[in-house]
Structures are given as C-alpha cells and as structure tokens.
C-alpha cells in the first residue's frame, strides 16, 4: 500500500560539530542519497506554505487536500 508522507522542512539538518566533514541529513524527503542531503530541497524553495505537493522525475504537482 502506498503512503503519502508530508515533509514540512525544506532544508537539511546539519550534523553538529565533532564530525570530520560537514554532514547534512535530508529533511525534505526528496534526496536520492538518503539519509544524506543531495541538494534536492532546492526544488521546494518556491512552494506555497500550507500546500501539499507530490514530486517525481518530471517535476511537482499540487495535491488536493481530502482530509
């Protein structure tokens, strides 16, 4: 069964100091290198607050809220 998971953050979480290199964890859900950020969150910067979107390789679609 498919699930819709809503991600409200459009920037990664930074791993705190103490790591050898800067590390960022994906928070938008779009990274192809999970759990690490690959910069895919840039696609979400112009989203309208409160709207829900679905993303695929062709772009995004605004979803109609049914609940």
Distance between alpha carbon 52 and the CA centroid of its chain, in Å?
Answer: 12
What is the pLDDT at residue 67? 66
13-48 per-position pLDDT tens digit: 998 877 677 889 999 999 999 999 999 999 999 999
Residue 64 DSSP class: P
What is the pLDDT at residue 7? 86
Read out DSSP for 4-61? -------SPEEPPSSSSS--EE-SSS--SSTTB--SGGGGGTTPPTT-EEEEETTEEE
Name the pLDDT band for 50 (thresholds 50, 70, 90).
confident
Name the pLDDT band for 4 (thresholds 50, 70, 90).
confident
**Do residues 42 and 56 make contact, with C-beta atoms less than 8 angstroms apart?**
no
Q: Where are the domains of the chain?
A: 13-63
């Amino acid at each position: 069964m498919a699930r819709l998971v809503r991600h409200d953050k459009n920037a990664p979480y930074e791993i705190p100091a103490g790591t050898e290199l800067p590390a960022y964890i994906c928070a938008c859900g779009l990274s192809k290198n999970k759990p690490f950020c690959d910069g895919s969150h840039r696609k979400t910067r112009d989203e309208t607050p409160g709207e829900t979107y679905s993303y695929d390789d062709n772009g995004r679609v605004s979803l109609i809220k049914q609940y």
